[in-house]
Amino acid sequence: MLLVYSFLMLISGITDLWIFFRVSQIAASKKNILILGGVLFLLPILCGGVVELATFLEILFFIFYFRKSKEKNLAIGAILIVGVVDSIIDILSSILMELLHIEDIIYLNLLVQISIILLAVFIIEIFYKYLHSYLMNENHNVFIGLLIYLYVSTTLTMIFYGQTQKNASLSIFFTIFVLIQIVFAMATYVELINIQKHLLKKSQQDKLIKEQKQLQDYAQYLEESEDELRAFRHDYRNMFNSLKISAQEGNTKEVIQKLDEYTKANLNAKAFEKYRDVNHIKNKISQKYHYC
């Protein structure tokens, strides 16, 4: 019995360590393997086989171990996934053994647990890239929060199930309950991501509308400037023709008077007000992006 239990603890510890490194993609250095592996192997023994307590302490140790690491979020998310997987394995193992009435048959008991562990490894191998990406993207805090929820709910389910009188009805109930928790967590995460995408899309649309309005205002300004330029060209031609006639007639005073009137009317400070500080636009833009 002790040999079977020790073998199961060894398999479970190796699986937990593999899941952690597989999902987190943290370097599996000798130091990390020795320290983290030692914790995963020793804590279940020190906790007297109380899996829930051992898993909880493992999570705390991993968080403490990676608290100053740049990969802290990856480590926290990965060890939470390990905790969730362990809880689900324990729940499914207990339920299957209860339904099959093989709790007292040691080797069948071991076979069931190893089969579920292998199934968990197979599922993680398929989805570890997705899990890793969820822990890396901008919504990693949301995903970690859902993992905490899943871990707490599955752990409480396991504790409650272990304290109640086991029967087929309860087994079915807890199986359905665990599945509902998993589906609910996944649906919540997907919905949160969709809401965020919708808000981001709306923000981008508002920005585009604002930029379009600015372009329309600028286009209108250019059209008005073009009209003013045409009017200026027309007035200039008329004035030039008038000056030409006056000059041909030798009336220099009239030429000077017309030039003075035209200058006061069209080349005064007010006429150039809209072009004030145009030569400083480049500097202002540079300063704006320098401080952003």
Number of residues that this document lists for the chain: 292
Q: Per-residue pLDDT for 120 more than 50?
A: yes
Angle, CA 287 vertex, CA 283 and CA 290 arms, to 5°: 135
Residue 144 has pLDDT above 70, yes or no: yes
Cβ atoms of residues 30 and 52 within 8 Å: no
Q: What is the pLDDT of residue 290?
A: 47
The confidence band for 218, taking pLDDT boundaries of 50, 70 and 90, is: confident
Residue 291 scores a pLDDT above 50:
no
Residue 289 confidence class, pLDDT cut points 50, 70, 90: very low
Quote the CA–CA distance of 144 and 147 in Å, as a whole number: 5
Please state, in angstroms and rounded to a whole number, the distance separating the CA atoms of residues 93 and 217. Answer: 69
Percent of the chain with pLDDT over 90: 19
pLDDT band, residue 34 (cuts 50/70/90): very high
- pLDDT exceeds cutoff 70 at 72: yes
In whole angstroms, what is the distance from residue 223 CA to residue 56 CA? 71
Instruction: Give the whole-angstrom CA distance, residue 41 versus residue 54.
Output: 10
Per-residue confidence band for 66, with pLDDT thresholds at 50, 70 and 90: very high
pLDDT tens digits for 264-279? Answer: 666 554 554 554 544 4
CA separation for the pair 71, 264 (Å, rounded): 71
Whole-number pLDDT of residue 286:
47
Which pLDDT does position 150 carry in this prediction? 84
Secondary structure percentages of the chain, helix, strand, coil, to 5: 85, 0, 15
Instruction: Report which of 162, 15, 7, 10 is spatially closest to residue 81, judged by C-alpha positions.
Output: 15
Q: What percent of the chain clears pLDDT 70, i.e. is strictly above it?
A: 70
What average pLDDT is seen over the chain?
77
Task: Tell me the C-alpha distance between 248 and 244, whole Å.
Answer: 6
pLDDT of residue 268: 54
Question: Does the pLDDT value for residue 162 go beyond 90?
Answer: no
Residue 284's pLDDT band, with cuts at 50, 70 and 90, is: very low
User: pLDDT: is 19 or 287 the higher one?
Assistant: 19
Q: How confident is the model at residue 282 (pLDDT cuts 50, 70, 90)?
A: very low
pLDDT at 188: 75
The whole-number pLDDT of residue 105 equals 72
User: Stretch 243-255: mean pLDDT, rounded?
Assistant: 66
**Confidence (pLDDT) at 24:** 93
Diameter of the chain measured on Cα atoms = 129
Of residues 3 and 147, more confidently modeled: 147
Measured between its terminal Cα atoms, the distance across the chain in Å is 67
Higher pLDDT, 44 or 177: 44
Angle between helices 51-65 and 72-100 (to 10 degrees): 170
Task: Determine the Cα–Cα distance for residues 158 and 91; give it in Å rounded to an integer.
Answer: 6
Flag the least confident range among 78-82, 161-165, 208-212, 217-221.
161-165
